[in-house]
Amino acid sequence: MPDHEGPTASFAMGITEGHATLDSIRAVLSSGLLPKNTHTKYAMWGYSGGSVASEWASELQEQYAPELSFSGMAIGGCVPNITETRNNLTGTAYAGLFPGAYLGLTSQDEEAREFLVSRLKTSGPYNATAFLADVNLTVTQAFATYAGQDIYSYFVNGRADLENPILTQIADRNWYQGYHGVPLMPTFVYKAIGDEFSTVNSTDALVERWCGIGVDVEYQRNTVGTHITEITNGRLRALEWLGHVFEGTATVGGCSVKNVTVNVTSSAS
């Protein structure tokens, strides 16, 4: 059974991930495994890649699954602009996200995949064989394999090959949040100001857009930590918010943006 990337492992394909997430909720609700009543409450919660799937599901819900009624959505470590994240992470310990991102981006388009492969170098340390090996790696294995590598070095013309319209037309539809719809449910967003994967400014802009059109959103910007530490630093805040949503005690309505200082990782060490 595929996860939210679908049967072709379409990592970083926002529309596919959003549709698959909504379909999974439909499947659970129609499975017969839940109590037979009309009051089942459900919400989405995702961090980093999980926030991508959840956020896209929220954008696409009105047009794709209007019968669903979410109690809320909590998303952390948001990645509203994957191109920005690519530029931030190439050459870092997390560069391994991007062979997989481009293999995912081209997983449903034969012409795009053929172009991608044709632009990979055939010799040297950064070659097609090494790049395409990612198709059989977990994300943890990919981090180890490509750590510190300049991903652009795999391509004949470097970064310019990734800016070809054959690739960017797919990325334009799937890598930028905030253009396909808006969350219809109360939303909790949490982000480390020092997030190195995706700048806080990108999430600020997404939330500002939502606030401007009336989305109920609570946005907490953590003054400490990074993308990785906010997984732990934000977990209890997300759970608490979701608990209030399910209990009907959440303060919803309007837009709240505030800085917080939560350093669970420091106190646990």
Rounded CA separation 128/118 (Å): 9
Task: Assess whether 19 carries a catalytic annotation.
Answer: no
Residue whose token pair is 């732990």: 232
Task: Assess whether 195 carries a catalytic annotation.
Answer: yes
**Would you call 105 helix, strand, or coil by DSSP?**
helix
DSSP secondary structure, 157-203, as one string: TTHHHHTSHHHHHHHHHHSB-SSS---SS-EEEEEETT-SSS-HHHH
Catalytic residue among 4, 19, 180, 227: 227
The H-or-E segment that residue 128 falls in is helix 128-132
Task: Assess whether 227 carries a catalytic annotation.
Answer: yes
Catalytic residue among 195, 198, 202, 216: 195
Q: Please name the residue ranges forming H helices in 165-257.
A: 165-174, 200-212, 229-247
Sequence-distant (6+) residues with CB within 8 A of 91 are 148, 149, 150, 151
Catalytic residue among 4, 10, 19, 48: 48
Active site positions, annotated: 48, 195, 227
